[in-house]
Each structure stands twice: as C-alpha cells, then as structure tokens.
Amino acid sequence: MNSEAKGYAMGFSESIWSDPVEYLRSVNPNDPVMFLSPAALQTQAQRFLDGFPGLVTYAVKSNPDEAVVDNLAAAGVSGFDVASPEEIAMIRRLVPDAALHYNNPVRAKHEIVFAVGRDVASYSVDSLSELDKLFALVPTHRENGERVEITARYKLPVAGAAYDFGAKFGATEELATEILTRVAAAGYTPSLTFHPGTQCVDPQAWDAYIRAAKRISDAAGVRIHRLNVGGGFPSHRVQAIVPSLDAIFHLIGRVTEEAFGEDAPALICEPGRALVADSMALATRIKGLRDDNHVFLNDGVYGAFSELPLMGAMDRITAWSPEGVQREGDTRRRTVFGPTCDSVDRLPGETPLPSDIEEGDYLLVQGMGAYSVATNTRFNGFGALAVHMVMDLSV
C-alpha cells in the first residue's frame, strides 16, 4: 500500500494515496473529498507549455489551492492571471518572480495601488473611466525598468461557449480602438486581450477574435506588443466529447500569422479550467435513495457542484461500495439532489448511474478541479470538503 509515501514536488507534507478508491476503502469518509494528482496537473501544464505558441499564464480564480499553484510553478508556469489583491499577494508569496497580469477590468483605486506595490506587469481595461484610473495610479515603468503593459479588452457577438463573458466584460471594437490609441500615446506598452467564453469548444471563436484584433490595431494605427487570447479552453466534461486542445493551439498560431503577417504580436493565453480540471476528482457519498428513485448526495450545487447548473451535467462518474468494489449494473438515469434543505440543490438533468448503487456508496466524479474548491460554501451546515493527494486518479 502506498499511503505512507510522503511529499510531492514542492514539499507538501501529507500521505499520498495510490488512488482515490484506496482512500475511500481505508477511511470511509462521510464528507466529500477532493483528490489532487500532482502528476496529472504537471502533465497538463506541460501540454500547454509545449503546445501553445506563446506565454502560458494560469487563471488563479479557477482553483487557488496553494498545492495547485506550487505544482504549476514546478512544471514551468511563470505567469499568473490574478483578479484580486488576495490572489496577487498569494502568488507573490508562493512564486516571487512570477509575472502578474491583473486582468479583472474593473478595480477600486486601493486595489490598483496594492497591485502597483507588488510590481504587477500587465493590466486589462475595457472602459475609458477605468483607463483614467490606471493612468492616474500606475507608473509607465515597472521596478525593473520595463514598461507596464495595458491591454484593451474587447468582445464580439460570437457563439460556441458555455456562457458568454462578453455579457459583463469587453469593449466594442470602436471603444477598444480608442483605448489602444490612448494607451500608446500615454507611454505604456499597448496590447489587446479577449476571452471567447468559458468551455469554448468551437476553435473558430478564436479565429474571429484574432482577426478583430488586427482590425482594431489597424484602426488605432498602433502595432500591438502582445495579444492575449484569453482562457476558455475546454476541459473534458462528458465521456463522448474529448476536446482537441492541439487543434485550438494550431488554429491560434496559424490565424495570428495570417492576420498580422510580419507584425504578428507575441501571444499569451490564460487557461484555468483546461489546466486544472483533470487534476482533481470528487468523491461524494450517497446519503439516501428515496424509494430507489431519487439519489441524495452529501454534496451538491452549494458545494463542489456549484457550476453544474450553468455548465450542464457531467457523466464521467463511477460508483464504488464502501469496500472499494465498483458498481457495474446497467446504467439508469436518475434525479440527483444535494444534501441541503433547498429544492434548488439539484444536479441538472438526469445523471446516468449504475442500477445497483446503494446508500453509503461513493460516486467518483472525474474532471472536477476547476471552479469547485474555490466556490464551495457551508450553506445549511454542509460543505466540509477535504483535499487529499493521490498518485493516480484513474481507477
């Protein structure tokens, strides 16, 4: 048994279990458990570092667990997309030399002052009022003498994502042109950025956005230094659809070259979900089978499943007895509820589960590393969520 092995790449001191089922069989936990595989995380990070034709930065908001940040840094990720002073402070503590990109487009003045004091390298903006704040508080040059980068964030009416970030952030092409012009004239490094929307499975979304960047650059008469192609890279949520990240990487490189030619800017991406989702699996216990029909779990939409009402159901699920025996009955679609006394606490649609599941069994859900730990609540007294290390998530 491998449960006595200690440590991982960045020195985290904890027992590392062989796989999730070993832990479930040995401990029989009553609360939900998230399992992190440092090996899976570093492997996915290397896939981005090797495949994406530019700088890879990590969107900290997707999973700010310190073990996640440590392992990404160990894998070679040197840039981080931060959205708050707390995230800035954490990355400065864990990865002191990291490049920080503050890409939350609306910030209070005290937040900007905090960022300047931590030598943030890049800021995004999508309005003239917020641009004026930056001009008033951010010097044109960093501590090392390099110019501070300000990126105009723009949006397009394109589809292909689970939900649209343009509903909250992003300037029109015309406004982005004005922002870019003013940034260059003020002496900052002028760049552009966009976000195609979360879980974007259509590579053509990046095509449209990159060609729009060329139009904005030409209209402003400004040669942009960098183009941040955002996050939005999809993770593996359902068994039948395995996203092709390599195809997206190739398209981004090809279209940038086609659109800009010799004036092609350096590229940046800021993945969150696609980097960390498959590094974690969630174990949730069946607390009740109501008349062998409805399934009640010890976790739900106020916990690690908080995203599912927006993102849709997942089916990368296996069921295990407390003794560690996999349930393999015929698949049956069931309504699944969380533990709270709230009727909203329900997984979307119907979840395919083995017909022979029993109360006390565990459901092991793969691909749960993004927007789960970070958004877990303690509503109704539930939500205790432990995180344990495993060598391998596959069982």
What's the pLDDT tens digit per position in 264-279?
999 999 999 999 999 9
HEC assignment per residue over 41-76: HHHHHHHHHHHCCCEEEEEHHHCCCHHHHHHHHHHC
Could you tell me whether strands 33-36 and 226-228 are parallel, antiparallel, or unpaired per DSSP bridges?
unpaired
Residue-level pLDDT at 5: 32
What distance in Å separates the CA atoms of residue 226 and residue 193, rounded to the nearest whole number?
8
Residue-level pLDDT at 7: 34
Q: Enumerate the CATH 2.40.37.10 domain ranges in the chain, comma separated.
A: 16-37+277-390
Q: Tell me, which fold does domain 38-276 have in CATH? A: TIM Barrel (3.20.20)
Residue-level pLDDT at 216: 98
Give the CA distances from residue 395 to residues 14, 353, 376, in Å, rounded to whole numbers and listed in that order: 21, 17, 25
Are the C-beta atoms of 235 and 206 separated by less than 8 Å? no
What distance in Å separates the CA atoms of residue 15 and residue 270, rounded to the nearest whole number?
31
Backbone angles phi, psi at 90, to 5 degrees: -65, -45
115-136 tens-digit pLDDT: 999 999 999 999 999 999 999 9
Is residue 350 pLDDT above 70, yes or no? yes
174-208 tens-digit pLDDT: 999 999 999 999 999 999 999 988 787 788 889 99
Give the CA distances from residue 138 to residues 101, 123, 132, 222, 223, in Å, rounded to whole numbers and listed in that order: 14, 10, 10, 21, 22
Is residue 50 pLDDT above 80, yes or no? yes
Residue-level pLDDT at 256: 98
* Interacting residues of 40 by C-beta distance below 8 A, sequence separation 6+: 278, 279, 392, 393
CB atoms within 10 A of CB 394: 10
Is residue 13 pLDDT above 50, yes or no? no
Quickly tell me which residue has 């849709």 as its tokens.
312
Residue-level pLDDT at 165: 53
CA-nearest of 313, 381, 379 to 351 is 313
Q: Enumerate the CATH 3.20.20.10 domain ranges in the chain, comma separated.
A: 38-276
Residue-level pLDDT at 158: 63
Is residue 162 pLDDT above 80, yes or no? no
What CATH number matches the domain at 16-37+277-390, 3.40.50.1000, 2.40.37.10, 3.90.79.10, 3.90.1750.10? 2.40.37.10
Residue-level pLDDT at 56: 98
Is residue 344 pLDDT above 80, yes or no? yes
Could you tell me whether strands 33-36 and 294-297 are parallel, antiparallel, or unpaired per DSSP bridges?
unpaired
Is residue 51 pLDDT above 50, yes or no? yes
What distance in Å separates the CA atoms of residue 172 and residue 311, rounded to the nearest whole number?
26
70-110 tens-digit pLDDT: 999 999 999 999 999 999 999 999 999 999 999 999 999 99
Band of pLDDT at residue 3, cut at 50, 70 and 90: very low
Residues paired with 129 in a beta bridge? none
| Average pLDDT along the chain | 92
Quickly tell me which residue has 């931060």 as its tokens.
82
